[in-house]
């Protein structure tokens, strides 16, 4: 080997030695008692930053039967407070057996703690899970091997590279939240019935709350037969068909109309797509792991289109941020919730004042009147006892329990969905020195129990304590030395007993229709929102309906459609109004709290920002925790306030429809100055600059669009712009080429039939500025028209 080659080899070896431990998913430890203990964390050692990390521990026992527990401990220090959280999972491994235990590690643990095997409070073995945080697009593959999909590995989705992750039915997390790190899951040739029921449920819930599920078709489609009712299809027809550029293959045909179809002109459909709740289902007509599609060069392009939306989402598939965010946002607010309606100070003063008077002059006058002053030796202690008994009984009747629970959270409903996604921060007030077990029914505790900063103005000393989390589901709150609330974020889904239902139509410049609250709770302070416009709906009792009519926004002014709007609108609605001379009333206090909560909680809703398409949202308040709270096994009713948010689907009124230009806002996806920014009013183009804009047509109407018109206002132009200020080109998706368009201030027409509208609703326009003038442009607009009747 030559000198430079030897050096290169040495560097490579060194690099491998240094970087190897960072990417290997396995970490192992061997105990002296015949136990071998290995950990596999994340998805093939990879996970998304801030998400749940699934961990599988494998314990091989070559000695005698072993029983103990698996545990890891985290310590959080907030201000002067220090709190340890001990996660425990009981474990019994018979002699000669191998046992696997799957659990999840909370997201906010930056430095992975050591996982220990403990017996009789002695650590037998320990290992640190190795996880590499990645920004790759992780696509889980279930049913076939990733090696069967050679053209998909390494697929580029914008800035992100696709990494295929091998999943198995046994190792698939049975908790929807644990699938958060995956951008999409591809099921191919999977016998659905053989997938354990909890995993089936986890997959379906994950999709309804934002996941992207891709189902392989082809000759093995019958394996998905048990899933047909959920998909809303009958048995697809299977036939050999010729596909341009591919050859002859077995393709399925779905006859139901509710599916959007991706096809090549003149060919059979290749992909059937449908939104499901907040997520998406893509049913491939073919088996991507079977020839001729397995090696088809067009497959990466097609899959890039399918994965486009999920790959662009910066949010998690299950909506919401990491648990830390809600903990930080809401942690202080939770202390502002009244534990219970307490008696007024005035009433207390009257009770105690009357008592003091009875004990003194009233008692004396009474005994004097009776000429029995000597009785005072007996009556005064008796009166004291009676007073004490009365006040104790009164206070006890008005008291919160020794342990109080307070819950704040976000409940996301999905139109037509089967469950509510709940993310809540529940705080527990415990008297110093006492211990209780708390559980949020059916939810994972996704943060370590945290102590807040002490209340300003109230003397305190540093609090220390710990909690023991049993299998990530229940927490034993060990004694603290101080009166302090411990709070924990819980995430889970609750079978939905209803939803906010409505028939909403885009009718001219209005979104009109009727909304009905089919939730079992009163939706308080509700509003329907469309961009910056909203309509207050007041309190919607269960079963109550209300007519809605919201003006379609002319221009969002860059304020966005997403979570910030929810916070802004609800915050504005919760304005407490004029403060009286006696301070805030109880109602005003609640309004102030909701105003703050609206901002704090909507910070936990990045999905609404992540989705570019215009959305109609229903939001309001529910005085419920969403998930049952149990203390020492008994369900308690916590003081609770939850923000309810639901995206509404809407159709279009009968006859022709015309979306206003601003309903399809542009987004700068490529330019010399920046990318992926909403194009706002008054943006500029400097000399010799080019910019690519993208508009996304609402998915609900993509297949009914017959005409499009694009225009852009020129607000200012420099002296050198006598000629056309720029050259405009539209992207033709069919042959992946740019087609020059005639520019006119009044705009130009584009035809979907000519291939300018992608199957997933994108229209791309490129502006090439040819001269030196500086331009100031208005927001580009895309008008979309159609003629079909609403479904």
Give contact residues for other proteins (rule: CB under 8 A).
335-339, 342-343, 345, 348-349, 352-353, 355-357, 359-361, 363-364, 373-374, 376-377, 380-381, 384-385, 387-388, 390-392, 394-396, 398-404, 429-434, 455, 458-461, 481-485, 582-586, 589, 592-593, 596
How far is residue 408's CA from residue 139's CA, in Å, rounded to a whole number? 33
**Cis peptide bond N-terminal to 381, omega within 30:** no
Cβ distance to other proteins smaller for residue 90 or 360: 360
Cβ distance to other proteins smaller for residue 222 or 461: 461
Cβ distance to other proteins smaller for residue 71 or 81: 81
Cβ distance to other proteins smaller for residue 400 or 689: 400
DSSP 449: -
3 state SS of 701: helix
Cβ distance to other proteins smaller for residue 379 or 690: 379
The gap from C-alpha 35 to its chain's centroid, in whole angstroms, comes to 39
Cβ distance to other proteins smaller for residue 28 or 352: 352
Q: Which of 670, 565, 643 is nearest to 611 (CA)?
A: 565
- Minimum CB separation of residue 85 from other proteins in Å reads 22
Cβ distance to other proteins smaller for residue 228 or 483: 483
Q: Which of 307, 291, 272 is nearest to 186 (CA)?
A: 307
How far is residue 596's CA from residue 587's CA, in Å, rounded to a whole number? 14
Cβ distance to other proteins smaller for residue 589 or 785: 589
In sequence order, what are the residues at sequence separation of 6 or more whose Cβ sits closer than 8 angstroms to the Cβ of residue 8? none
Cβ distance to other proteins smaller for residue 394 or 681: 394
Q: Which of 635, 693, 630, 636 is nearest to 665 (CA)?
A: 693
Structure tokens at 456: 């300003």
- Minimum CB separation of residue 490 from other proteins in Å reads 22
How far is residue 376's CA from residue 711's CA, in Å, rounded to a whole number? 96
Q: Is the CB of residue 125 less than 8 Å from the CB of residue 80?
A: no
**Site of tokens 């211990």:** 435
Cβ distance to other proteins smaller for residue 347 or 514: 347
Q: Is the CB of residue 770 less than 8 Å from the CB of residue 759?
A: no
Q: Which of 351, 42, 356 is nearest to 173 (CA)?
A: 42
- Minimum CB separation of residue 365 from other proteins in Å reads 9
- Minimum CB separation of residue 456 from other proteins in Å reads 8
How far is residue 716's CA from residue 502's CA, in Å, rounded to a whole number? 44
- Minimum CB separation of residue 450 from other proteins in Å reads 16
- Minimum CB separation of residue 79 from other proteins in Å reads 15
- Minimum CB separation of residue 516 from other proteins in Å reads 33
- C-alpha count within 13 angstroms, C-beta hemisphere, residue 100: 10
Cβ distance to other proteins smaller for residue 3 or 459: 459
- Minimum CB separation of residue 351 from other proteins in Å reads 8
In sequence order, what are the residues at sequence separation of 6 or more whose Cβ sits closer than 8 angstroms to the Cβ of residue 751? 707, 708
3 state SS of 245: coil
How far is residue 6's CA from residue 4's CA, in Å, rounded to a whole number? 5
**DSSP run (H or E) holding 311:** helix 299-312
3 state SS of 33: coil
- Minimum CB separation of residue 639 from other proteins in Å reads 10
The gap from C-alpha 306 to its chain's centroid, in whole angstroms, comes to 21
């Amino acid at each position: 080997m030559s000198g430079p080659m030897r050096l290169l080899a040495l560097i490579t070896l060194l690099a491998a030695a240094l970087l190897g431990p960072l990417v290997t998913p396995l970490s192992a430890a061997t105990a002296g008692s015949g136990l071998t203990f290995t950990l596999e964390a994340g998805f093939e050692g990879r996970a998304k930053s801030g998400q749940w990390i699934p961990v599988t521990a494998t314990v091989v026992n070559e000695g005698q039967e072993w029983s103990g527990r698996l545990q890891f401990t985290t310590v959080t220090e907030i201000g002067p407070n220090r709190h340890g959280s001990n996660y425990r999972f009981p474990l019994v491994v018979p002699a000669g057996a191998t046992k696997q235990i799957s659990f999840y590690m909370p997201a906010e643990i930056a430095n992975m703690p050591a996982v220990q095997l403990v017996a009789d409070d002695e650590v037998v073995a320990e290992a640190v899970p190795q996880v590499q945080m990645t920004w790759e697009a992780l696509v889980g593959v279930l049913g076939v091997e990733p090696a069967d999909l050679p053209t998909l590995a390494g697929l580029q989705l914008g800035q992100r590279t696709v990494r295929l992750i091998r999943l198995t039915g046994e190792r698939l997390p049975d908790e929807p939240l644990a699938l958060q790190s995956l951008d999409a899951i591809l099921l191919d040739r999977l016998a659905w019935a053989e997938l354990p029921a909890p995993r089936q449920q986890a997959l379906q819930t994950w999709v309804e709350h934002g996941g992207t599920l891709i189902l392989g078709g082809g000759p093995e489609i019958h394996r998905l037969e048990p899933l047909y009712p959920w998909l809303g299809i009958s048995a697809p027809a299977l036939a050999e068909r010729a596909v341009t550029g591919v050859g002859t293959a077995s393709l399925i045909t779905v006859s139901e109309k509710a599916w959007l179809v991706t096809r090549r002109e003149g060919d059979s459909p290749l992909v059937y797509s449908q939104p499901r709740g907040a997520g998406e289902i893509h049913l491939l007509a073919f088996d991507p792991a079977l020839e001729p599609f397995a090696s088809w060069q067009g497959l990466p392009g097609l899959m890039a289109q399918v994965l486009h939306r999920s790959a662009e989402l910066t949010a998690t598939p299950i909506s919401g941020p990491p648990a830390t965010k809600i903990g930080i946002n809401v942690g202080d607010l939770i202390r502002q919730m009244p534990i219970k309606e307490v008696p007024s100070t005035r009433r207390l003063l009257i009770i105690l004042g009357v008592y003091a008077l009875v004990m003194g002059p009233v008692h004396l006058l009474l005994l004097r009147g009776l000429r029995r002053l000597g009785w005072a030796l007996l009556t005064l202690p008796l009166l004291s006892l009676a007073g004490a008994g009365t006040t104790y009984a009164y206070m006890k009747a008005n008291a919160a329990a020794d342990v109080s629970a307070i819950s704040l959270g976000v409940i996301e409903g999905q139109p037509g969905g089967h469950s509510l996604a709940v993310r809540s921060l529940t705080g527990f007030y415990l008297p110093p020195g006492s211990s209780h077990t708390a559980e949020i029914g059916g939810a994972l505790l996704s943060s370590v129990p945290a102590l807040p900063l002490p209340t300003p103005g109230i003397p305190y000393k540093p609090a220390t304590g710990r909690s023991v989390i049993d299998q990530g589901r229940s927490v034993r709150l060990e004694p603290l030395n101080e009166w302090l609330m411990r709070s924990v974020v819980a995430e889970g889904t609750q079978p939905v007993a209803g939803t906010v239902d409505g028939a909403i139509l885009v009718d001219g410049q209005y979104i009109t229709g009727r909304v009905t609250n089919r939730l079992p709770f009163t939706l308080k302070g509700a509003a329907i929102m469309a961009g910056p416009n909203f309509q207050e709906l007041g309190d919607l009792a269960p079963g109550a309906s209300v007519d809605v009519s919201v003006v379609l926004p002319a221009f969002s002014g860059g304020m966005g459609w997403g979570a910030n709007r929810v916070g802004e609108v609800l915050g504005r609605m919760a304005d407490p109004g004029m403060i009286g001379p006696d301070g805030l009333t109880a109602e005003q206090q609640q309004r102030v709290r909701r105003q703050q909560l609206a901002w704090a909680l909507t910070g936990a809703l990045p999905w609404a920002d992540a989705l570019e398409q215009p959305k109609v949202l229903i939001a309001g308040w529910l005085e419920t925790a969403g998930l049952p709270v149990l203390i020492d096994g008994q369900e308690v009713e916590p003081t609770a306030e939850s923000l309810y948010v639901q995206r509404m689907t809407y159709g279009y009124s009968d006859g022709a429809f015309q979306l206003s230009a601003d309903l399809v806002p542009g987004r700068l996806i490529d330019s010399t100055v920046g990318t992926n920014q909403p194009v706002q009013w008054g943006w500029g183009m400097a000399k010799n600059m080019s910019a690519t804009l993208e508009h996304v047509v609402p998915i609900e109407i993509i297949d009914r669009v017959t005409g499009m018109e694009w225009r852009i206002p020129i607000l200012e132009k420099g002296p050198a712009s006598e000629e056309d200020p720029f050259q405009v080109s539209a992207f033709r998706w069919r042959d992946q080429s740019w087609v020059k368009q005639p520019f006119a201030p009044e705009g130009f027409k584009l035809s979907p039939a000519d291939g300018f509208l992608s199957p997933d609703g994108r229209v791309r326009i490129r502006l090439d500025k040819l001269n030196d003038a500086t331009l100031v442009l208005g927001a580009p607009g895309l008008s979309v028209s159609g003629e079909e009747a609403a479904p």
